[in-house]
């Protein structure tokens, strides 16, 4: 697959808290950096997202009496997985992985900043209506196709890819540049859902 000037790379949440030793560790999460950095060099437009929660965010299990991490609760916008406290604004855990080539990014999109609503997708918060502004930025940049990578495959990558497709962009997920939480089979569920949505799934070696 040929990369052109109308393509954008979307690098999702490659942050310390999602890497080994982080509070919401994704197994081998740091392994994506070695795949992503060479990809960054090949795209004219690179969007990097950053989970950026205030302390006491309502998606944290610690904010719900008796709740345990990875349980669920009902929020006004629907079912919400409750997470360990992670990616708190200004914390070391919210910082990008030290080896990620952030300086080559075109723009950083921060998400999850409202305490009352989580934000998996790079395009919309979990209420499905509050936009991050990413769609407008991509359209103004002449982007027609979005390549997604990062953490975690079965949550923020999946929902970003699905929203990119719904927003009218051709969408590709680079699977070897992602790692999954894989909670109760969520990786396979995400893969099937993305395929069903018309999202292409491929390896970095397939990019020319």
Task: Tell me how far CA of residue 186 lies from CA of 32, 51, 153, 192, 203, in angstroms.
Answer: 19, 20, 9, 10, 20
Q: Write out pLDDT tens, residues 109-126.
A: 999 999 999 999 999 999
Instruction: List domains and CATH numbers for the chain.
Output: 7-55+85-206 (3.40.50.850)
Residues 127-164: tens digit of each pLDDT: 999 999 999 999 999 999 999 999 999 999 999 999 99
Which residues are designated catalytic? 13, 111, 156
Q: Name the percent of the chain lying above pLDDT 70.
A: 100
User: What does residue 205 show for φ and ψ, rounded to 5 degrees?
Assistant: -65, -15
What single DSSP character describes residue 7?
E
- Whole-structure pTM value: 0.96
pLDDT at 208: 74
For the segment 48-101, what is each residue's pLDDT rounded down to a tens digit?
Answer: 999 999 999 999 999 999 999 999 999 999 999 999 999 999 999 999 999 999
């Amino acid at each position: 697959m040929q990369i052109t000037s109308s393509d954008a790379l979307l690098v999702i949440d490659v942050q310390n808290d999602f890497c080994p030793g982080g509070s919401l560790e994704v197994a081998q999460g740091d392994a994506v950096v070695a795949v992503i950095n060479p990809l960054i060099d090949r795209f004219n437009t690179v969007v990097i997202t950053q989970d950026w929660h205030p302390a006491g965010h309502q998606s944290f299990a610690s904010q719900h009496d008796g709740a345990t991490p990875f349980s669920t609760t009902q929020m006004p916008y629907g079912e919400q997985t409750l997470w360990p406290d992670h990616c708190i604004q200004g914390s070391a855990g919210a910082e990008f992985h030290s080896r990620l080539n952030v300086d080559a990014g075109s723009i950083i999109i921060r998400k999850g900043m409202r305490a009352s609503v989580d934000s998996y997708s790079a395009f919309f918060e979990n209420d499905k209506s509050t936009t991050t502004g990413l769609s407008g930025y991509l359209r103004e940049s002449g982007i027609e196709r979005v390549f997604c990578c990062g953490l975690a495959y079965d949550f923020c990558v999946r929902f970003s890819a699905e929203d990119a497709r719904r927003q009218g962009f051709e969408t590709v997920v680079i699977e070897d540049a992602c790692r999954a939480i894989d909670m109760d089979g969520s990786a396979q569920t995400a893969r099937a859902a993305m395929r069903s949505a018309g999202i292409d799934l491929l390896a970095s070696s397939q990019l020319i």
